[in-house]
Amino acid sequence: MNGELVYAVGDIHGRYDLLKLLLEAIVADHRQSGSSQRPVLVFCGDYIDRGPQSAAVLEALVQLQRRTDVQLNALRGNHEQALLDFIDDPVRGAIWVAYGGSQTMVSYGLEPPAPQADAAAYRQARDALLGLMPAAHLRFLESLPLALELGDHYFVHAGVRPGVPLALQDSQDLLWIRKPFIDAKGPFEKVIVHGHSWVDAEPTVCDSRIGLDTGAYATGVLTAVRLGLGAPTILRARGSASGQLE
């Protein structure tokens, strides 16, 4: 890790309750490690949609970005891209709303359009969302990079196209790829640390990749990995599957 102490976090999907618990676990782990290094936090995308508190998650990340005791690296996921696509072209809104965007709208206090709503309704919803969303949230979303290289690790949301050099990867693959990447045996140029694809509440840790998406919005488990102090160490936050905050 080029001397860095890194905590990489999987898909949050609006589970602010789990994010708080996982950040507490990271703080405790850092203290127990005895390391004096400033930790590097890498979030692998999909902060919004499906869970109930997308707006709160984005606000927490914006605040983390302003801190000086941690270094935040937040990557773009396919759900952030879908929201940005909706803002750019509201006609795409029906697809985004159907795949979790409705929960994001509700988290900002906006009633989402009905699935069969016309283009005008989605334009109105886009304008209303922009009126409710803090400018800092939009700036944060627009600034998200697709990937990050640290030492022998390559951090990305979905994965990479096997056989294609990392420097030549297509943005669609970095955001969306599943089966060709998951089924590949590797090795890749670097260890790929990613989210996006999950089967159950257990992460995948092998020589070629570390998969951190554990379906937080459905399983109630949000996962991180510590890198840079010996073998990879898994940290978890567990909560209810419903995600309803008390």
What value, to the nearest 5°, has the Cα angle with vertex 21 and ends 9 and 28? Answer: 85
Exposure letters 73-104 (e unless 16+ CB within 10 A, then b):
bbbbbbbbbbbbbbbeebebbbebbeebbbbb
Question: Which of the four pLDDT bands, split at 50, 70 and 90, describes residue 15?
Answer: very high
Task: Tell which phi-psi region holds residue 142, choosing left (phi > 0), alpha (psi between -120 and 50) or beta.
Answer: alpha
Question: Which of the four pLDDT bands, split at 50, 70 and 90, describes residue 142?
Answer: very high
Percent with pLDDT over 70 in the chain: 98
* Number of residues that this document lists for the chain: 246
In the chain, the amino acid numbered 125 is: A
Residue with tokens 């396919």: 78
Which of 160, 155, 150, 52 lies closest to 109, judged by CA?
52
pTM, whole model, 2 decimals?
A: 0.95
What mean pLDDT is reported for the chain? 95
What pLDDT digit, counting tens, does each position of 48-60 carry?
Answer: 999 999 999 999 9
241 pLDDT more than 80 = no
- Residue 191 CA to residue 213 CA, distance in Å, equals 16
- Report the pLDDT value the prediction gives residue 245, as an integer from 0 to 100: 39
Q: What is the mean pLDDT of residues 94-120?
A: 94
Question: Which of the four pLDDT bands, split at 50, 70 and 90, describes residue 243?
Answer: low
More confident residue, 240 or 217: 217
Q: What is the mean pLDDT of residues 227-238?
A: 96
Question: Which of the four pLDDT bands, split at 50, 70 and 90, describes residue 242?
Answer: low
- Report the pLDDT value the prediction gives residue 1, as an integer from 0 to 100: 76
Pair of tokens at residue 80? 């952030």
- Report the pLDDT value the prediction gives residue 209, as an integer from 0 to 100: 97
159 pLDDT more than 80 = yes
* Nearby residues of 99 by Cβ (< 8 Å), 6 or more positions away: 49, 50, 79, 82
- Report the pLDDT value the prediction gives residue 240, as an integer from 0 to 100: 81
What pLDDT digit, counting tens, does each position of 26-53 carry?
Answer: 999 999 999 899 999 999 999 999 999 9
- Report the pLDDT value the prediction gives residue 208, as an integer from 0 to 100: 96
Question: Picking from 20-29, 115-124, 144-153, which range would have the lowest pLDDT averaged per residue?
Answer: 115-124
Q: Are 46 and 101 in contact (CB under 8 A)?
A: no
